[in-house]
Amino acid sequence: MAIRKLKPNTPGQRFRAVNTFDEITTDTPEKSLLEFHKITGGRNNDGKMTMRYRGRGHKQMYRIIDFKRDKFGIPGVVSTIEYDPNRSGRIALINYADGEKRYILAPNGLKVGQKINSGRGISPDIGNAMHLEEMPLGTLIHNIEMRPGQGAKLVRSAGNYAQLTAKEGKYVTVKMPSGETRMILSVCLATVGSVSNSDHALEVAGKAGRNRWLGWKSRQRAVAMNPVDHPMGGGEGKASGGHPRSRSGQKAKGLKTRSRKNRSNKLIIERRSKGYGAK
């Protein structure tokens, strides 16, 4: 994985930085694991816009990903490492010993021909899916379940990883990429390693058109709108804005919105850092 900067032959290429796709081994996906992916353009079933700044974009097929990793005791071999237009990380096609094929999130360091497994009594090698209670302390993990058998919900984007820090009773303590420290049931599954394509954050689109190919329209600043369109709009010159808030008036940048009655609050040991996600 590496980033390549282009020569400034055009204004759109002047600052553009693209992925070299060195780890990709094929550009032909497995047909049996493809589904038609309808692009909504941010509209609901009534045709009403429910999400702004979405639309068009290149046609995509959805790759069915195995987030449950429930092929217990059946070894598999990595057949290919592929690009997935629906996510930032890479995916790997696994050929299992019983003849079944599945896509999984490819961790960093996974190679074609490597054997992987899932279940109990296996070694904590990269790509293996294990129960958290059987992993050594300090293991870097991704693709983490929140409830047993539900399928992975946490740590799935490019370059991310969590770390197993402690075990106590029926819970283990995991430090998340955001800095949050939380408890997760020890019988939940997680995959060893970090998610592939760690250089994704270093990519630069270079021009607005590249984001349009991905289905994102340009976003209008709130302070450039009229008062009828946004609470931060209006005013003469730059004497507008006020406290940052959403289109509906919900205050942003500091207002806590998490419910005090949230049942999972007792599982969070330390909240994420205040600067997480700030641009």
Number of independent structural domains in the chain: 1
Torsion over CA: 130, 133, 135, 139 (sign):
positive
Please enumerate in sequence order all residues whose Cβ is within 8 A of that of 33, keeping only pairs 6 or more positions apart, or say none: 63, 64, 93, 101, 102, 103
On average, the pLDDT of the chain sits at 93
Could you give the 3-state DSSP secondary structure of residue 32? helix
Predicted confidence band at 197 (pLDDT cuts at 50, 70, 90)?
very high
62 lies in a domain?
Answer: yes
Query: CATH number of the domain that 61 lies in?
Result: 2.40.50.140
17 vs 206: CA distance, rounded Å: 7
141 lies in a domain?
Answer: yes
pLDDT for the residue 278: 47
275 lies in a domain?
Answer: no
65 lies in a domain?
Answer: yes
278 lies in a domain?
Answer: no
160 vs 193: CA distance, rounded Å: 9
pLDDT in tens, 90-147: 999 999 999 999 999 999 999 999 999 999 999 999 999 999 999 999 999 999 999 9
The pLDDT of residue 271 is above 80: yes
pLDDT in tens, 224-260: 999 999 999 998 888 888 889 999 999 988 888 889 9
pLDDT in tens, 62-97: 999 999 999 999 999 999 999 999 999 999 999 999
The fraction of the chain above a pLDDT of 70, given in percent, is 97
108 lies in a domain?
Answer: yes
Q: Which domain holds residue 60?
A: 3-201
136 lies in a domain?
Answer: yes
Predicted structure pTM score: 0.90
243 lies in a domain?
Answer: no
